[in-house]
């Protein structure tokens, strides 16, 4: 990668061309930011007007972070419908405009352009199918679909009738799906015959059936016919969605929802226990998703906007579906992967659909950078105006490559920091306002008050490094953990009382710019996918030959972090390459391919304190190949285990 080293951007001033085009310049950012934190009721009261309300709100902000009485309500006496805001209200002006461009996995399969009128018909029909199956306001609907237009129809159909969707990423295993169906007691599942990614089929319907062997309460499985592959079928429970929609009416009145009624649940990993059902509600979430989509991506009417995330993650929720459609945008959904049929695929899609705004993850950028510039140079990319990054810290080398090679120095890069819990982007440049520094997510969005605290929770001023917290509420934030408000309060508000704790470490430089350094808890970020080390550990110990396991992250060139597993076997069992493979397959099966271990080290023992706590600090160091500096090991019950761990380390550089 030496050819990239010659680029060196320290601080990039906002060029005139960006400023002229943008909604927000520096002056406006500073004035509005101040207003947003000083007079939040006034600021957000005005912003709320970007939506169509059935009954306008009179109260704007009613929130407290006070432990343990945390309570978040925005626009609480207003009513509205999310689907009406994302679809119906655009029909007059944009009925014939494309809402969704769908680009399939195989470049030889024709793309689809779905207009707002067609989107309306599909959403209404699907909403009527749900109703006919008995789905009522407040019911949970689990969606397990590939990257085709149907998940967008399904999300909006749920929103239209007041049902709460819970999307499960199509790469998750039957077990992971079963757990998520169980947790929210969902009686309805929408899936497809098969998914398609990089030419490979994913047996979604078969996975669903496996998951449902454990969930007797599911009444209906709606199945999208996508690849046409044969699937197992249960009469009386399974329904082909195309057939049901063909027979359904294309009109369905939107349900009047309170601003604080639930919109969706999305499961995400934490440092302990099972994934949490993050709950987002209706009014504040949509205001925030729409506003951030407009200003961060500087979205103007007619722009073609492409976010490469999967709808199974929060980025897909807020920035493929809800934010863009609330703004009447043209949003592209891509079924495939960056390197199929080859590493030019992203840029070919950009050229094919004249994409103006492109939003992806650092892991994809690093992988494509590694594939070589010839895969970029054979495309034009002239349509691109703005580039975005999300999911993990972007290393300066990848930033520079993205900026110079992909954007040809024409496109600002917005490095957007946020979380499933935050609902939308919190720290980010605004393209017409913010000087860029490669690797920094820069400054807070309107209404967001970040702070850096030390281990005791003292707020640090000026240049500082510590843990990132947010001091006050914003409209897009999660409201609770589904079914477990106590867990919500404990997880996010107990470490630093009265403050929302992000789980991320952070540094602030002399210009007040924020540099996110990564998770400080036992959450790892593998190719932008977030997972708890505890989840991988419990998958491993579920294997009959495993007695104990400890999992840590370690730096990985492409994935950001790799998964390093220390495994202690049951007595009498012998470690071998065959067993490593078996364990790898086992974890893929238990959680999904994204959790596949990169390194497995068999260990006779794990470093524990006398009270039996595993000292992960030591395991992280060894996984990083930094064994020369293990720190204090004197509190270990048996310091001898460390010698063996170092001798048999897997990641030697």
Q: Which residues of the chain form contacts with ligand 6R9 (CB under 6 A)?
A: 268, 313-315, 390-393, 415-420, 441, 502-504, 516, 518-519, 525, 530
Edge-first strand order for the sheet with 500-508 is 459-460, 450-453, 464-470, 500-508, 514-519
Q: What span, in angstroms and rounded, lies between the C-alpha atoms of 260 and 263?
A: 9
Q: Which helix (H) or strand (E) holds 63?
A: strand 61-64
Distances (CA, A) of 431 to 18, 93, 289, 357, 403: 7, 28, 17, 12, 13
Angle (CA) 625-628-631 rounded to 5° is: 110
**Residue whose CB is less far from ligand 6R9, 474 or 602:** 474
**Residue whose CB is less far from ligand 6R9, 87 or 426:** 426
Residues that constitute the known binding site for CoA: 197-200, 315, 339, 527, 588
Q: Which helix (H) or strand (E) holds 428?
A: none
Q: What span, in angstroms and rounded, lies between the C-alpha atoms of 355 and 331?
A: 10
Beta bridge partners of 113: 101
Q: What is the DSSP letter of 321?
A: I
**Residue whose CB is less far from ligand 6R9, 143 or 266:** 266
Cβ 58 to ligand 6R9, closest distance in Å? Answer: 32
**Residue whose CB is less far from ligand 6R9, 393 or 597:** 393
Residues that constitute the known binding site for Mg(2+): 541, 543, 546
Side-chain-side CA neighbours of 425 within 13 Å: the count stands at 33
Contact 44, 229 (CB under 8 A): no
Cβ 568 to ligand 6R9, closest distance in Å? Answer: 29
Q: What is the DSSP letter of 12?
A: B
**Residue whose CB is less far from ligand 6R9, 98 or 292:** 292
Q: What span, in angstroms and rounded, lies between the C-alpha atoms of 434 and 322?
A: 25
Cβ 10 to ligand 6R9, closest distance in Å? Answer: 19
Residue, CB closest to ligand 6R9: 420
Residues that constitute the known binding site: 197-200, 315, 339, 391-393, 415-420, 504, 519, 527, 530, 541, 543, 546, 588
**Residue whose CB is less far from ligand 6R9, 14 or 296:** 296
Distance of CA 326 to the CA centre of its chain: 19
Residues that constitute the known binding site for ATP: 391-393, 415-420, 504, 519, 530
Contact 560, 540 (CB under 8 A): no
Q: What span, in angstroms and rounded, lies between the C-alpha atoms of 30 and 36?
A: 10
**Residue whose CB is less far from ligand 6R9, 144 or 313:** 313
Q: Which residues fall within 8 angstroms of residue 541, CB to CB, at 6 or more apart?
A: 547, 548, 549
Cβ 319 to ligand 6R9, closest distance in Å? Answer: 9
């Amino acid at each position: 990668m030496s050819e990239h080293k010659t680029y060196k951007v320290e601080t990039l001033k906002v060029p005139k061309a960006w400023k002229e085009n943008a909604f927000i310049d520096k002056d406006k950012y500073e004035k509005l930011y101040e207003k947003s934190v000083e007079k939040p009721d006034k600021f957000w009261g005005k912003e709320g007007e970007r939506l169509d309300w059935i009954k306008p709100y009179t109260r704007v902000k009613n929130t407290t972070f006070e432990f343990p009485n945390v309570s978040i309500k925005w626009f609480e006496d207003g009513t509205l419908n999310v689907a009406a805001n994302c679809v119906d209200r655009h029909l007059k002006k944009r009925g014939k405009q494309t809402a969704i461009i769908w680009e399939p996995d195989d470049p030889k399969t024709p793309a689809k352009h779905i207009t707002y009128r067609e989107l309306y018909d599909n959403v209404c029909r699907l909403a009527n199918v749900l109703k006919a199956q008995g789905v009522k306001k407040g019911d949970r609907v689990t969606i397990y679909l590939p990257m085709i237009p149907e998940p967008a129809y399904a999300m909006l159909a749920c929103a239209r009738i007041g049902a709460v969707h819970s999307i499960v990423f199509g790469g998750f295993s039957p077990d992971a799906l079963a757990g998520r169906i169980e947790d929210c007691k969902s009686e309805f599942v929408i899936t497809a015959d098969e998914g398609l990614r990089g030419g490979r089929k994913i047996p979604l319907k078969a996975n669903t059936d496996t998951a449902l062997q454990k969930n007797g309460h599911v009444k209906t499985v709606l199945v999208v016919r996508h690849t046409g592959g044969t699937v197992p079928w249960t009469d009386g429970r399974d329904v082909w969605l195309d057939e049901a929609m063909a027979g359904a009416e294309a009109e369905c009145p939107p349900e009047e929802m309170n601003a604080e009624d639930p919109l969706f649940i999305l499961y995400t990993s934490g440092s302990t226990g099972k994934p949490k059902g993050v709950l987002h509600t209706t009014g504040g979430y949509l205001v925030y998703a729409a506003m951030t989509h407009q200003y961060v991506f500087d979205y103007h009417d007619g722009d073609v906007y492409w976010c490469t995330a999967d709808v199974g993650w929060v980025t897909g929720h807020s920035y493929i579906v809800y934010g863009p459609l609330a703004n009447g945008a043209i949003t592209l959904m891509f079924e495939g992967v960056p390197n199929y049929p080859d590493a030019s695929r992203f840029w070919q899609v950009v050229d094919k659909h004249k994409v103006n705004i492109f939003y992806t993850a650092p892991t994809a950028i690093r992988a494509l950078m590694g594939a070589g510039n010839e895969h970029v140079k054979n495309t034009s990319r002239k349509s691109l105006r703005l580039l975005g990054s999300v999911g993990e810290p972007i290393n300066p080398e990848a930033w520079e490559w993205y900026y110079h090679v992909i954007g040809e120095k024409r496109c600002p890069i917005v490095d957007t920091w946020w979380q499933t819990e935050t609902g939308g982007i919190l720290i980010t440049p605004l393209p017409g306002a913010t000087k860029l520094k490669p690797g920094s997510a820069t400054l807070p969005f309107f209404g967001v008050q970040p702070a850096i605290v030390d281990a005791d929770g003292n707020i640090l001023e000026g240049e500082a490094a510590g843990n990132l917290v947010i001091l006050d509420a914003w409209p897009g934030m999660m409201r609770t953990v589904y079914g477990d408000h106590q867990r919500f309060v404990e997880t996010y508000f107990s470490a630093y009382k009265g403050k929302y704790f992000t789980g991320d470490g952070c540094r602030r430089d002399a210009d007040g710019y924020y540099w996110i350094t990564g998770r400080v808890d036992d959450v790892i970020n593998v190719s932008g996918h977030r997972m708890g080390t505890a989840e991988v550990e419990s998958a491993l110990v579920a294997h009959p030959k495993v007695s104990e396991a400890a999992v840590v992250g370690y730096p990985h060139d492409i994935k950001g972090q790799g998964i390093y597993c220390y495994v202690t076997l049951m007595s009498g069992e012998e470690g071998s390459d065959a067993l490593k493979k078996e364990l790898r397959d086992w974890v893929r099966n238990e959680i999904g391919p994204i959790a596949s271990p990169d390194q497995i080290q068999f260990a006779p023992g794990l470093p524990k304190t006398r009270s039996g706590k595993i000292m992960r600090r030591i395991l992280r160091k060894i996984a990083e190949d930094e064994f020369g500096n293990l720190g204090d090991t004197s509190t270990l019950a048996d310091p001898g285990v460390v010698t063996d761990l170092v001798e048999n380390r897997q990641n030697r550089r």
